């Protein structure tokens, strides 16, 4: 059976690529209200595609963007059930001028598919869909029961998914969860992730005046909120990148010697960081390696800041307000609410005289650790090894997938985290891409996982 399914997938690779191109052309940007119709269109496209493949599929409402749910069940009630998660929403594509092709007119160049959402996450979860399609068309059946939960709000923090999962536990009942929303180490080296950092975020506003004022009339006599905000932000880290917020590291889990040794075996260095990002140097806590800083140390970052006039030419004002977006990546044992309180308290304490500091849009999810001992995770490891030719690395991932914590707390089942992308896929950046071979190998890995399960 396995070889027939693999042969079918290989014979239909052009059809599968065409479907992905069509899917990527839908600008399903969840963060932008004027794209709400496009987000709904992507959900309908995917639901229709799953229905056409032979699954029971529907678009289900949430308080925000809808989720796509689909399932296929065989006659044997004792067979295992896998729940496959992904997200059909994508990051904003701006600034458009930095793309070499239009982000929602997908093109294939030099073996890569360029489009917003190609790797994060449409290409990766569609690989699982095509694995199921290949089974059903080649054999008319599957050796396991399959459920899909594909959401439309991951890129805005999945604000409504936890409530959806809690309300539909029976519908989502399964033996394991498969998530492909990450990267291989390279084309021949798979990675199984056993930890994800959590995430908290908020916006800060510094106000010093009730309106913008003339910088000649009032300069030197009033506080400038842009300088005040810069002073506050600069106080949050020392020169070596350590967060200086009191209590920030108090609950951070200490790495075991075994974990440090396992991470040291992954051939990733300062040079890789520089090559992938264009940075002139790797930077961070000097007592930790880049692999350790990537997955097991918390962070505090400024994601954006703005104040005053930023258009062409000059406008000689002192602005009334300054703003920034702040996020922290959390590691196990850190409480999101506590971290938000600690950071905001430190920012208030660092505010100079004459600056009023306020916060809004605070949100957070904790970090996650998953067990590698479950037989379903070992099935994923065997499938990865057979597909890519090497056993997987096991690593702690620096990114966050909010739903992992929800699945752990609400479903309590093993979670396999096996990414199909590459580290240089430019996710969240201009020229996002997904190697065509990664799409094809992802389909193969999913087929093999279903067989192993």
Give buried/exposed letters for 164-184 (b at 16+ CB in 10 A, else e): bbeeeeeebebbbbbbbbbbb
Token pair 């390696």 is found at 289
Mean pLDDT computed over every residue of the chain: 95
pLDDT for 283: 95
pLDDT for 451: 97
Measured distance CA(9)–CA(2) in Å, rounded: 11
Using one digit for the tens of pLDDT, what is the confidence trace for 341-390?
Answer: 999 999 999 999 999 999 999 988 899 988 888 999 999 999 999 999 99
Is the pLDDT score of 401 beyond 90? no
Is the pLDDT score of 157 beyond 90? no
Listed in order, strand segments (DSSP E) in 241-387 are: 301-307, 317-318, 321-330, 356-365, 368-369
pLDDT for 80: 95
What is the total residue count of the chain?
453
Measured distance CA(182)–CA(20) in Å, rounded: 18
What percent of the chain lies above the pLDDT cut of 70? 100
pLDDT for 254: 86
pLDDT band at residue 215 under the 50/70/90 scheme:
very high
pLDDT for 135: 98
From the centroid of its chain, how far is CA 429? 13
Contacts of 203 (CB under 8 A, 6+ apart): 323, 324, 325, 326, 359, 360, 361
Closest CA to 394 of 293, 266, 225: 266
pLDDT band at residue 166 under the 50/70/90 scheme:
very high
Task: Report which DSSP code applies to 314.
Answer: -
pLDDT for 400: 80
Using one digit for the tens of pLDDT, what is the confidence trace for 22-52?
Answer: 999 999 999 999 999 999 999 999 999 999 9
Are 325 and 303 spatial neighbours (Cβ–Cβ below 8 Å)? yes
**How many alpha carbons lie under 13 Å from residue 417 in its C-beta half-sphere?**
27
Q: Which of 256-270, 311-325, 337-351 has the lowest mean pLDDT?
A: 256-270
Ordered DSSP codes for 134-177: HHHHHHSS-SSEEEEEEES-GGGT-TTHHHHHHHTTTTT--SEE
Is the pLDDT score of 126 beyond 80? yes
Strands 415-417 and 176-179: parallel
pLDDT for 109: 97
Residue 70: in which H helix or E strand, if any?
strand 67-72
Closest CA to 370 of 340, 398, 332: 332
pLDDT for 172: 98
Is the pLDDT score of 76 beyond 80? no
Tokens of 261: 């040794």
Which residues are paired to 43 by β-bridges? Answer: none
Torsion sign over Cα 414, 420, 426, 430: negative
pLDDT for 105: 98
pLDDT band at residue 262 under the 50/70/90 scheme:
confident
Is the pLDDT score of 186 beyond 80? yes
pLDDT band at residue 340 under the 50/70/90 scheme:
very high
Q: Residues 401, 106, 274, CA angle at the centre, nearest 5°? A: 55
Contacts of 123 (CB under 8 A, 6+ apart): 20, 24, 113, 117, 420, 421, 434, 438, 439, 442
Q: In whole angstroms, how far apart are CA 353 and each of 203, 224, 226, 323, 341?
A: 21, 11, 13, 17, 21
pLDDT for 433: 98
Measured distance CA(61)–CA(152) in Å, rounded: 10
pLDDT band at residue 1 under the 50/70/90 scheme:
confident
Task: Report which DSSP code applies to 6.
Answer: H
From the centroid of its chain, how far is CA 115? 16
Q: Which of 343-347, 404-408, 425-429 has the lowest mean pLDDT?
A: 404-408
Helix or strand or coil: residue 108?
strand
Q: For residue 95, is the peptide bond before it cis, meaning its omega torsion is within 30 degrees of 0?
A: yes
Closest CA to 87 of 30, 172, 163: 30
pLDDT for 276: 84
What percent of the chain lies above the pLDDT cut of 90? 87
Is the pLDDT score of 195 beyond 90? no
Are 202 and 326 spatial neighbours (Cβ–Cβ below 8 Å)? yes
User: What integer is the mean pLDDT of 325-346?
Assistant: 96
Are 347 and 234 spatial neighbours (Cβ–Cβ below 8 Å)? no
């Amino acid at each position: 059976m396995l070889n027939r399914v693999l042969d079918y997938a290989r014979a239909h690779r052009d059809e599968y690529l065409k479907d992905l191109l069509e899917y990527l052309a839908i600008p399903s940007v969840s963060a932008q209200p004027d794209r709400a119709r496009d987000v709904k269109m992507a959900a309908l496209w995917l639901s229709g595609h799953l229905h056409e493949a032979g699954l029971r599929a529907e678009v289900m409402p949430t308080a925000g963007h809808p989720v796509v749910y689909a399932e296929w069940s065989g006659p044997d009630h004792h067979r295992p059930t896998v729940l496959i998660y992904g997200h059909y929403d994508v990051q904003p594509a701006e600034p458009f001028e930095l793309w070499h092709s239009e982000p929602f007119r997908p093109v294939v160049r030099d073996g890569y598919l360029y489009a917003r959402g190609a790797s994060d996450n449409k290409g990766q979860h569609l690989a699982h869909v095509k694995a199921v399609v290949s089974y059903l068309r080649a054999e008319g059946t599957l050796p396991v029961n399959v459920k899909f939960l594909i959401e439309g709000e991951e890129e805005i923090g999945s604000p409504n998914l936890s409530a959806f999962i809690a309300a539909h536990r029976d519908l989502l009942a399964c033996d394991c969860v498969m998530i492909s929303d990450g990267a291989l180490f390279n084309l021949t080296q798979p990675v199984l992730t056993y930890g994800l950092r959590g995430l908290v975020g908020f916006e800060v506003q510094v106000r010093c005046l009730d309106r913008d004022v003339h910088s000649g009339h009032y300069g030197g006599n009033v506080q400038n909120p842009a300088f005040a905000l810069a002073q506050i932000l600069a106080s949050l880290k020392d020169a070596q990148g350590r967060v200086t917020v009191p209590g920030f590291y108090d609950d951070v889990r200490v790495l075991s010697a075994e974990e440090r040794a396992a991470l040291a075996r992954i051939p990733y260095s300062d040079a890789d960081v520089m090559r992938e990002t264009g940075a002139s140097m790797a930077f961070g806590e000097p007592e930790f390696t880049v692999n350790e800083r990537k997955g097991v140390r918390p962070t505090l970052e400024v994601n954006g800041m703005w104040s005053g006039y930023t258009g062409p030419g000059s406008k000689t004002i002192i602005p009334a307000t300054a703003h920034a977006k702040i996020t922290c990546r959390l590691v196990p044992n850190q409480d999101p609410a506590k971290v938000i309180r600690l950071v905001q308290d430190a920012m208030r304490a660092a505010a100079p005289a004459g600056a009023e500091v306020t916060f809004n849009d605070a949100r957070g999810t904790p970090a996650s650790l998953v067990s590698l001992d479950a037989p379903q995770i070992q099935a994923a490891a065997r499938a990865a090894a057979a597909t890519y030719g090497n056993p997987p690395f096991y690593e702690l991932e620096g990114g966050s997938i909010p739903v992992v914590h929800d699945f752990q707390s609400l479903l309590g089942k093993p979670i396999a985290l096996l990414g199909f992308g590459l580290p240089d896929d430019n996710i969240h950046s201009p020229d996002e891409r997904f190697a065509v071979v990664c799409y094809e190998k992802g389909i193969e890995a999913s087929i093999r996982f279903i067989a192993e399960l």
